[in-house]
A and B are shown apart, each in its own frame.
Chain A
């Protein structure tokens, strides 16, 4: 239902390309021609292994840094062309949470100042009003505001620091929240607390989310739709249940079969993967990027880049030899 047509998508990512220059005129092709649409209130999960470009794509959406090519439209507003104050204004509407909750908080600032900083930068409210909003937001993310306000990040656990990061990201009441491996550094019992919190906040505040993680179980948990990336390109995108039960791209299948299930009756699947290493994003293979490790690859895969094709409504896959 959300195929990249002229749908009124809330977040429209079109042909996003991110390249990082290297010495000697070569470049890292981090993201190539990535397109996806996210409807208002929807969570799009973005999965893939290290180096697949999922974080680069997320950062390009945030304009941190700006993508090399392509368009990012939020609620109809093109972000890639914005500069200076206009970009700062627009940034109130999209905020981000990072992987390392401790490193992303300034250790010398109090929690009050950390969470109030976005309000101050945006010039919202008096000091007193800001303080009241910070207190309310801290309570909303499950912290005791009276106890937390005057303390500093080192006095909190990793899970609590991530709650503080979430409070800071949400204090400007953004429409879009980008979570880049936001729960990956947390222990499972704490991870569950933070995932539940994100789900509650998303529902209560009507957030649209872009949720990036290498953990397929976590992504399925929070996502309405899921996109799989390999070597900078989109392999497959579908609603969560379809992708996990009926994926047709050989890479998606491989990735899913590698997830160790917490069930001793489910023996590990044999990997259908040609042994070898991820190709370099400096010199990606011709044609399909996955062909060097794909057991189904043919000559066609080397000569022609597979285009995204409709498998069923809302389910797209880029493969010459899809599985059934």
Chain B
């Protein structure tokens, strides 16, 4: 139970969906490891595969999802791809948990929030009702819900969006999981509430020595809240590095283009934004080479020859044969 211990090892995760037009490769060969006490930010635009990746790790995929035999998700030394649904259910909670974007749909509208937390405690930890209720109030206190002893008997519709997300976090951490996945946890919330919820998640990860995957489309959220960042594009990780490295020494042209296209509060008004022309590729008929090549200003004919591998020196990985900063990289 020390820092540095590898909790999660994802190897060549591939997740496709059968559609009317053919197979859609939503996650196309993703591999990474995550250590206890670390937060990995996974950032990408819609359709980049970040949410499908989180559900692939949790094994919460719909029936039309296809995962080939070579994909592995190893959590605490156990290969989740080999487990039955019943075995997985016992792990979701004590070993891994997820917080979704919309707490209104992830909470049950007809059960009090206390009941929803108690259910987890009684199922996984075998707690008796009275003890579970007391623990539920403790958890609601820990996540900063005001008047926890009153709120415990209330229903989701009686709470604001921020309060509901606090409840969802209380449920997720109830069994002290080793891995917490937060999938766009603040996208539906106002900025001031977002700051409070991100503070809370960071505190929980630190206090409980968990590992967290923070999935977001917001480069600002990633910059302030993560140790490492993986940038996804068209179902693949295209750059992965410690957060400062990624922002200061960006290698993948897509990451650079994404950063340049963000309006910043420090910019003067009316600055022309560096938009990325075109749109992400069709994942049913992806281009043969680098998926970003059709939109990339630095691409040449070689970029259309096969998909570049994710590799690089000293923990800074990028999937690009024409990376930026070539001259400065020793």
Contacts and interface: CB of A to CB of B under 8 A. Distances in A.
Interface in A237-270: 240-241, 244, 254-256, 258-268
A192 B273 contact: yes
A303 interface: no
A100 interface: no
- With most chain B CB atoms within 10 A of its CB, the pick from A189, A224, A277 is A189
B279 A260 contact: no
Contacts of A191: 261, 263
Interface stretch (B88-96, B125-133, B218-226): B218-226
The bracket for how many chain B residues form the interface is 35 or more
B263 A195 contact: yes
Contact of B261 (A192, A224, A241, A256): A192
A217 interface: yes
A268 B225 contact: yes
Contacts of A195: 263, 273, 275
Given A190-B279, A240-B269, A256-B265, A214 B224 contact: no
Contacts of A189: 45, 257-258, 261, 275-276
Contacts of B224: 260-261, 264, 266-268
B33 interface: no
Contacts of B272: 196, 199
A302 interface: no
Interface stretch (B68-76, B79-87, B190-198): B190-198
A56 B238 CA distance: 42
B268 interface: yes
Interface in B233-261: 243-244, 247-248, 257-259, 261
B45 A188 contact: yes
A155 B146 CA distance: 47
A263 B259 CA distance: 10
Nearest to A157: B279
B265 A216 contact: yes
B103 to A, nearest CB: 15
A259 B265 contact: yes
A265 B258 CA distance: 18
A89 interface: no
A267 B243 CA distance: 12
Nearest to A277: B160
Interface in B180-209: 190-196, 198-199
A263 B196 contact: no
Interface residues of A, number: 47
A221 interface: yes
A220 interface: yes
Interface string B151-187: 0000000001011000000000000000000000000
Given A49-B190, A192-B263, A268-B198, A221 B269 contact: yes
B106 to A, nearest CB: 19
Contacts of B279: 157, 159, 190
A187 B222 CA distance: 16
B146 A217 contact: no
A262 B220 contact: yes
B274 A192 contact: yes
B29 interface: no
A271 interface: yes
Contacts of A278: 160
Given A159-B279, A217-B264, A261-B220, A188 B258 contact: yes
Contact of A260 (B217, B218, B243): B218
A240 B274 CA distance: 21
A157 B279 CA distance: 9
A192 B192 CA distance: 24
Contacts of B222: 262
A223 interface: yes
Contacts of A264: 223-224, 243-244, 247-248
B219 A254 contact: no
Contacts of B160: 277-278
A193 B257 CA distance: 12
Contacts of B275: 189-190, 192-193, 195-196
Interface string B10-21: 000000000000
Contacts of A240: 269
- With most chain B CB atoms within 10 A of its CB, the pick from A159, A220, A277 is A220
A164 to B, nearest CB: 15
Contact of B191 (A220, A244, A255): A255
Contact of A221 (B162, B193, B195, B270): B270
B146 A276 contact: yes
B281 interface: no
Contacts of A215: 263
A297 interface: no
Contact of A223 (B192, B257, B269): B269
A183 to B, nearest CB: 9
Interface of B: 45-46, 144, 146, 160, 162-163, 190-196, 198-199, 217-225, 243-244, 247-248, 257-259, 261-277, 279
Query: 5 closest A-B pairs (Cβ-Cβ)?
Result: A260-B220, A192-B275, A49-B190, A192-B261, A189-B276
11 contacts: A157-B279, A189-B258, A191-B263, A220-B269, A259-B191, A260-B195, A260-B223, A261-B264, A262-B220, A264-B243, A276-B146
Given A192-B273, A196-B272, A262-B220, 10 more contacts: A189-B261, A192-B275, A195-B263, A214-B190, A221-B270, A221-B271, A221-B273, A241-B268, A260-B225, A261-B264
